[in-house]
Amino acid sequence: MAAHSQNVSFSALLDAELRRNAGGVRTLRAGAGEIIFQEGDAGDGMYVVDAGRVDIVIGAKDAEPRVLSRIGPGGIFGEMAIIDGKPRSATARADGDSVLRFVPIDDVHRVFSQSPDLMFSLMRDFSNRMRESNARHVEELLEAGRLSLVGRFAQSVVHDLKNPLNIISIAADLAGADETPRESRVMAVGMIRREVKRLTTMVNEVLDFTRQTPGTVVLTPMAFRDFVRVLLDEIGPLAGDRGVKIVCETSPPGVPVNIDERRLVQAFYNLINNAADFMPKGGTVTLRFALTADELQVEVEDSGTGIAPEIAERLFQPFATFGKKTGTGLGLSICKRIIEAHKGRIRARSEPGHGAIFVITLPLAKSL
């Protein structure tokens, strides 16, 4: 951290006033690490740094005190307690061998009353220092936010990877035991395959989340009816394994839509997988389709309990698991990014007597 740059005109004005009438001004020497005053001490005067450097810190009794500012030669400190009449709000500590002048509060009041220019210069210097301090504080908050996000990200991912890994470990022991019946071996292999797919999905979610864009999206015209056929072929069996049935209430239209098949399948899989999380005993996901002059609308409704009002605004935020015991909390946020990469929109709603309803709108292509 660079030393604070003191306003030269203020130092010159202050020196001139002190030379004219030194009063109770005295010179002090402080060794490296020496405390000049503590947070909470009475504000009995201010200090001028003639040589060396002084750190203004908070939490000086903690293992890692935070340095608010560093005052170099010609700089002043301790003036805040004089301005507001309150105890010291921070601790002053010599960063190295330093020479200081202490100006008692009575002398401060006297020189300021005799020199309005000096008071104005002090206010300007104090304002600049507060701006610098605020800028550092904002940067520290942003950095803390980034570290907190990384921590939440790692915690979520590690926690969710442990569950399928434990199941794979148990199933592998079962499948490899000599005394395990053939039927149990087949069941164990099936468990391993399902959990590997689950792990693959979560890893893909993590990779998608860390990308600036949702993977490589290559849009090509495709009849939407054909896409739905591919979608049901891929997702139907996975949903069935979780006791979820997918039903098309209306026929998918054959209109052309610009689609990246792999990525859009992933978006729908995330929606249906999320619905299955809230239907642990199984249920139904219903698809409906509607057309306007230039857009296709797809509704995805589950037979769960719906969307609680308090979470509706945060559905598509990363790590928003809303109490689920599984999942990274990234599925819906990735789904939103994929739909937007298709130049579409997604929103959610909940109605009395219905489950969660997600509405996807995609622009129509001009032709196949």
Q: Give CATH for domain 8-114.
A: 2.60.120.10
pLDDT digits (tens, 9 = 90+) for 165-223: 777 888 888 888 888 888 888 888 888 887 787 677 667 666 666 665 555 678 999 99
Percent of the chain whose pLDDT exceeds 70: 71
Q: How far apart are CA 189 and CA 86, in angstroms?
A: 72
What is the per-residue pLDDT for 9? Answer: 52
- Judge whether residue 151 has pLDDT over 90: no
Task: Categorize the per-residue pLDDT at 317 as very low, low, confident or very high, splitting at 50, 70 and 90.
Answer: confident
Pick the more confident residue, 30 or 305: 30
Tallying the residues shown for the chain, one arrives at: 368
More confident: 281 or 123: 281
With CA atoms as reference, report the closest residue to 336 among 328, 348, 327, 326: 348
Among the listed residues 207, 338, 190, the one whose alpha carbon sits nearest the alpha carbon of residue 268: 338
Average the pLDDT over 83-95 and give the result: 86
Note the pLDDT tens digit of each residue in 30-53: 999 999 998 889 888 889 898 999
Residue bearing the bigger pLDDT, 6 or 282: 282
Q: What are the backbone dihedrals phi and psi of residue 118, each rounded to the nearest 5 degrees, phi first? A: -65, -40
Q: Which of 65, 11, 64 is nearest to 38 (CA)?
A: 65
The CATH 1.10.287 portion of the chain extends over 142-210
Architecture of domain 142-210: Orthogonal Bundle (1.10)
Question: Contact, 236 vs 246, CB < 8 A?
Answer: yes
Torsion angles phi and psi, residue 323, rounded to 5? 85, 0
Instruction: Between 107 and 324, name the one with better pLDDT.
Output: 107
Cα–Cα distance measured from residue 167 to residue 193, given in angstroms and rounded to the nearest whole number: 11
* Alpha-carbon gap, residue 128 to 106, rounded angstroms: 25
CA nearest neighbour of 319 among 169, 206, 232, 190: 206
What pLDDT is stored for residue 245 in this prediction? 94
Cα of 10 vs its chain's centroid, Å: 42
- Highest CATH level, class, for 220-363: alpha beta
Place of tokens 């520290």: 140
Task: Outline which parts of the chain fall under CATH 2.60.120.10.
Answer: 8-114
